Amino acid sequence: MYLLPLISTKQLLEMPSMWLLNRLDSIIEQRQQAVNSRNDILQLMLQVMADETDNSSKANDRLSREEVVSNIFVFMAAGYETTATALAYATYALAKYSEVQEKLQAEIDQLSLGDDENFNEETTKYLDYDVIMQMPYMNMFVCEVLRMFPIANGAVQRVASEDTVVRGIKIERGNNLNHSKYTIKNVIVLN
Ligand code: HEM
């Protein structure tokens, strides 16, 4: 109530997606002017972004500014909430099934990751993709969490390429299908 006068009508009317999009341009400007380069996906995209004054055919092989902005937006929108929700469900599953938590802990403990007491740069593995690939139980755990608590259901859509009938339901060519992964897991038993 007391904070209300501090918020302008413009801020209230700005949709979250527009808020993000409107700031990406200035973030790109800041990155281009920064002395130190960062090691992330935006920096990689900027390295292959076309110079806006370049009209040669070489510019076609590069990303346009709009493509960089759109890709960053999609990565933020598609990657942020999904990962946060998956981690929240994973935490819930670990708290509920302590035997699973112990098994996962045992798998992590057998990796020779760096710790403060016994640090050896030559032999110590860092937590990267190769290390994650040596964790089959972790992989099973994450897959099971996503099976039990499906995320981004609405994102999975398919258009029927031909007329068909599935379990007595007529689906016409061109129909947009959106299935519920949660229902399939919990209710439907396919013959
Ligand atoms: C646990 C984390 C995540 C879940 C549960 C998830 C879920 C999904 C689902 C269900 C789809 C639709 C797939 C389909 O149509 O078959 C999708 C597509 C997509 N996701 Fe994710 N996602 C996750 C993380 C991420 C991250 C971290 C990024 C990027 C940084 C990302 C980027 C995308 C993109 C770009 C698409 C569209 C792909 C396409 O249409 O070709 N997602 N995601």
Whole-angstrom distance, CA of residue 99 vs CA of residue 106 = 11
pLDDT at 191: 44
Sort 141 into a burial class: Cβ within 10 Å, 0-12 / 13-18 / 19+. buried
| Residue 190 binned pLDDT confidence (cut-offs 50, 70, 90) | very low
Is 101's C-beta closer than 6 angstroms to any atom of ligand 1?
no
Higher local confidence (pLDDT), 124 or 88: 88
Whole-angstrom distance, CA of residue 147 vs CA of residue 99 = 19
Ligand 1 atom index nearest CA of 41: 30
pTM of the model: 0.76
- Residue of minimum CA distance from atom 43 in ligand 1: 78
Is 159's C-beta closer than 6 angstroms to any atom of ligand 1?
no
Number of helices and strands in the chain (H, E): 8, 4
Check: CB of residue 43 under 8 Å from CB of residue 91: no
Pocket of ligand 1, candidates 40, 44, 81, 82: which has the most ligand atoms within 8 Å of its Cβ, to mutate?
A: 82
Q: What is the mean pLDDT of the chain?
A: 84
